[in-house]
Amino acid sequence: MRTYNVTHLNQLESESIYVLRETAAQFERPCLLFSGGKDSIVMAHLAAKAFAPAKAPFNFLHVDTGHNFPETIEFRDRFVKKLGVQLVVGSVQDSIERGTAQEETGPDASRNGLQSVTLLESIEREGFDACLGGGRRDEEKARAKERFFSHRDAFGQWDPKNQRPELWNLFNGRMGPGENFRIFPLSNWTEMDIWQYARLEEIDLPSLYFAHEREVFERNGSLLAVSEFVVPRDGENPSKETVRFRTIGDATCTGAVRSKASSLDEVIQEVAASRVTERGSRSDDRRSEAAMEDRKKQGYF
């Protein structure tokens, strides 16, 4: 008898494409949250495939903390142009100036939490009824409980104890006025799947993910890059090292890793041998055991 095998990457790809098409069909004005990180790049790549030869029917939304590595913004603009999609930028700086968000103070201040405010403001301003996010369930334990179609109330809040059951591939995207959905097509992907798929599909990724020389120093166990937003304090001694990033987020809280991996093949080998999760280098998640859950309840991605 003939067998019909589908590799796990093909299964994941088909599942994600199914979710992206469902999103287009069930919502009036969905957007795709594009951060310039590898997950959102893979999601955008899948969106392009899902609707080819037409363009993906989503606006791209970048919630910009203003604390970016310049490479990220360059990459973003190039990428969006190539796909021919519309980019909307929500600026955390604008929210702060308007007074709707308050800059954190203290030694470990970060704009990460403020992204929620700007995100919710952008959703309201643009009238988005669903936001596609690149979140994966393997990233973090609160995310492990997340649905593909995740309902948010009129305040953008996630209620983890009262989620809609999600069965088979039947997604319920119905909602009341002012409510919203977050949709996670990459839910079932792991970090390794993302890298392997990027290699298989020859997806172009920002140079930050590959080994390069950079001025870095240690703070609270993370290796931070010196930039206009991150200035070493007394006793913190920056030095030039060969590093790369496993995730790309706000420059103030995304740690680098020492690495010589300069190609996807080498990155994959390194990830396979790694004994620390990618979020292990992000100080925003180490604040408390439930840091992610608390941020998500308030409207975070």
Interface mask toward other proteins for 58-97; x: CB under 8 A: ----------------------------------------
Q: Which is nearer to other proteins, 99 or 176 (CB)?
A: 176
Cβ at position 263, least distance to other proteins in Å: 13
Name the segment binding other proteins (CB under 8 A); options: 13-21, 88-96, 100-108, 211-219.
13-21
Cβ at position 132, least distance to other proteins in Å: 15
Binding of other proteins by 235 (CB under 8 A): no
Name the segment binding other proteins (CB under 8 A); options: 21-29, 96-104, 111-119, 229-237.
21-29
Q: Which is nearer to other proteins, 177 or 235 (CB)?
A: 177
Binding of other proteins by 13 (CB under 8 A): yes
Q: Going by DSSP bridges, is the β-strand pair 59-64/87-91 parallel, antiparallel, or unpaired?
A: parallel
Residue type, 14: S
Q: Which is nearer to other proteins, 141 or 260 (CB)?
A: 141
What CA–CA distance (Å, rounded) separates 100 from 285? 24
3-state secondary structure of 131: strand
The answer to whether 124 touches 177, Cβ cutoff 8 Å, is no
Restricting to residues 110-139, name those near other proteins by CB under 8 A.
137-138
Specify which residues 157 forms β-bridges with: none
Binding of other proteins by 207 (CB under 8 A): no
What CA–CA distance (Å, rounded) separates 301 from 99? 22
Tokens of residue 172, six digits: 């319920």
Helical H segments across the chain, by residue range: 8-26, 38-51, 70-83, 92-98, 115-126, 191-200, 264-273, 291-297
Q: Going by DSSP bridges, is the β-strand pair 212-219/239-245 parallel, antiparallel, or unpaired?
A: antiparallel
Cβ at position 204, least distance to other proteins in Å: 16
What CA–CA distance (Å, rounded) separates 124 from 178? 9
- Count of residues of this chain found to bind other proteins when the rule CB under 8 A is applied: 72
Binding of other proteins by 202 (CB under 8 A): no
Q: Considering only CA atoms, give the Rg of the chain.
A: 19
Cβ at position 181, least distance to other proteins in Å: 11
Residue in 81, 97, 144, 263 binding other proteins, rule: CB under 8 A: 144
Interface mask toward other proteins for 146-185; x: CB under 8 A: --------------xx-xxxxxxxx-x-xxx---------
Binding of other proteins by 233 (CB under 8 A): no
Backbone angles phi, psi at 121, to 5 degrees: -65, -40
Residue type, 30: P
Interface mask toward other proteins for 262-291; x: CB under 8 A: ------xx--xxxxxx-xx--------xx-
* Residue linked to tokens 């469902």: 22
Cβ at position 213, least distance to other proteins in Å: 26
Cβ at position 108, least distance to other proteins in Å: 18
Report the alpha-carbon angle 30-55-205, nearest 5.
Answer: 90
